[in-house]
Structure 1
Amino acid sequence: MIEIEVVYASVDRQVLRTCRVQEGTRVRAALVASGIADVFPELDLTTCPVGIFGRMVADPDNQVVQAADRLEIYRPLLADPKEIRRLRAAKAARARQSEQ
Structure 2
Amino acid sequence: MAPAEALLRVEVLWGAAPHDIRRVALTLPAGSTAGQALAASGLLVEFPELAQAPMGVWGRACTAETVLRDLDRVELYRGLTVDPKEARRLRHGRGGGGRAGGR
Tell me, in whole angstroms, the C-alpha distance in 2 between the residues paired with 1:37 and 1:62. 17
Aligned to 1:91: 94
What is the 5 A alignment of 1:36-55?
36-38=43-45, 41-55=46-60
Aligned to 1:8: 14
User: What is the TM-score with the length of structure 1 in the denominator?
Assistant: 0.75
The CA deviation at 1:35 is: 1.3
- Mapped contact 2:44–2:51 kept (Cα < 8 A): no
Q: Secondary structure at the match of 1:4?
A: strand
Larger displacement relative to structure 2 (61-70 or 80-89): 80-89
Aligned to 1:24: 31
1:80 and 2:83 correspond: yes
1:70 and 2:73 correspond: yes
Aligned-pair Cα RMSD in Å: 2.6
Q: Secondary structure at the match of 1:10?
A: strand
The CA deviation at 1:30 is: 1.1
Q: Secondary structure at the match of 1:46?
A: helix
Tell me, in whole angstroms, the C-alpha distance in 2 between the residues paired with 1:46 and 1:10. 14
- How many percent of aligned residue pairs carry the same amino acid? 31
Which has a greater percent of strand? 2
Tell me, in whole angstroms, the C-alpha distance in 2 between the residues paired with 1:90 and 1:34. 41
The CA deviation at 1:86 is: 5.5
Task: Give unmatched runs, 5+ long, in structure 1.
Answer: none
Q: How many residues align?
A: 93
Task: Give unmatched runs, 5+ long, in structure 2.
Answer: 1-6
What is the CA deviation profile of residues 15-47 of structure 1, one whole-angstrom value per residue up to 9, with x for unaligned ones?
111101111111111110111223xx2342331
- Mapped contact 1:49–1:73 kept (Cα < 8 A): yes
